[in-house]
Amino acid sequence: MYSKILVLRFPREVVHKPLVCRLVKEFDLTFNILNARVLPRKEGILALELYGARKNFKMGVQYLKDHGVIVQNAEQEVKRNPDKCIHCGACTAVCPTGALSVDRPEMSVSFDQKKCSVCELCVPACPTRAMRVRPKNQSFFA
C-alpha cells in the first residue's frame, strides 16, 4: 500500500467535475480529505492523503493532471505515536538516516525528527502502526 499527501488545485473550469470520486471507481484508490476549499466558479483546493497500489496511484495522479488538476506534493513529516510504539526496533532496521535508533541499555526506540528524510520506509515496517506520515503545519490555502 502506497500513500502520499497531495494538494490538488482545481481550475474553475473543472471544479464542478467529480474527478476525485473517479479515483476510487477507476483506479481503486482511497483517500482521506485533510482540508478543502471549493467555491463556485473559482479555484478549488483540496488537501488529501491518497492510498493505493503504486501503479494505480501513478495512473490516478496522471488522470487528474490530464483533466487540468494541478497536483502538488504536500510538505510532509513522519510522526511517531509513543502510545502505540512497543519499542520492537523493526523501524530502526529500515531507517537509512539513523533518525530511528535503539537506546541501550534501556532497549527503547528513539526518534530524531531532524535526521528524518521522510523516506517512509518505517511506516510499513512498524507492526503497531506507530509511525505515520502527516502534513507539516502549514496552510495549504496561502
Tens of pLDDT, residue by residue over 9-54, are 999 888 888 999 999 999 999 998 888 887 777 888 888 889 999 9
pTM of the complete model: 0.61
Residue 130 clears pLDDT 90, i.e. is over it = yes
> In sequence order, which residues have a C-beta less than 8 Å from that of residue 140 and are 6 or more positions away?
7, 34, 35, 45, 47, 74
pLDDT at 56: 96
Domains and CATH numbers, the chain: 2-73 (3.30.70.260), 76-135 (3.30.70.20)
Alpha-carbon distance values, 120 to 25, 69, 88, 92, 117 (Å): 27, 26, 18, 12, 8
pLDDT at 53: 95
Name the band, by pLDDT with cuts 50, 70 and 90, for residue 138: low
pLDDT at 135: 76
120 phi and psi, to 5 degrees?
A: 75, 10
Residue 137 clears pLDDT 70, i.e. is over it = no
Tens of pLDDT, residue by residue over 57-107, are 999 999 999 999 999 887 778 899 999 999 999 999 999 889 999 999 999
Q: Which residue has the higher pLDDT, 140 or 11?
A: 11
Residue 140 clears pLDDT 70, i.e. is over it = no
